[in-house]
Amino acid sequence: EPEVTQTPSHQVTQMGQEVILRCVPISNHLYFYWYRQILGQKVEFLVSFYNNEISEKSEIFDDQFSVERPDGSNFTLKIRSTKLEDSAMYFCASRSLAGTGELFFGEGSRLTVL
């Protein structure tokens, strides 16, 4: 069964460092998303991406965050200068069709900022 894969599974970084989280969506999917889950809190939408541009972003997704699809397979989330409060599990998701297509989530990348 096709799946969304994310790397790394866990990253520890120092505050102020740049972090890139990588995702390989399912190959025929066209819509890509990042969500995050701070420990003990709800899963929150960060950003959606379609046709090589951001479709929508949440209030959380400030100038420290960026997304990119550098090639035909990868979808990345960059945090330019990490803060302690960026520590969370970050989930990538993809879907094939708007409307009735389900979101397929990856297993997540846990980011710990020290």
Partner 1 sequence: AQSVTQPDIHITVSEGASLELRCNYSYGATPYLFWYVQSPGQGLQLLLKYFSGDTLVQGIKGFEAEFKRSQSSFNLRKPSVHWSDAAEYFCAVEGDSWGKLQFGAGTQVVVTP
Binding site for partner 1 (CB under 8 A): 4, 31, 33, 35, 41-45, 48, 55-56, 91, 93, 95, 98-100, 102-108
Q: How far is the CB of 112 from partner 1 (least distance, A)?
A: 15
Of 51, 47, 95, 46, nearest in space to 69 by CA? 51
Q: CB-wise, 64 or 96, nearer to partner 1?
A: 96
Structure tokens at 106: 């990856």
Cis peptide before 70 (omega within 30 of 0): no
Q: How far is the CB of 78 from partner 1 (least distance, A)?
A: 20
Q: CB-wise, 31 or 81, nearer to partner 1?
A: 31
Q: CB-wise, 9 or 73, nearer to partner 1?
A: 9
Contact 110, 9 (CB under 8 A): yes
Structure tokens at 96: 């094939």
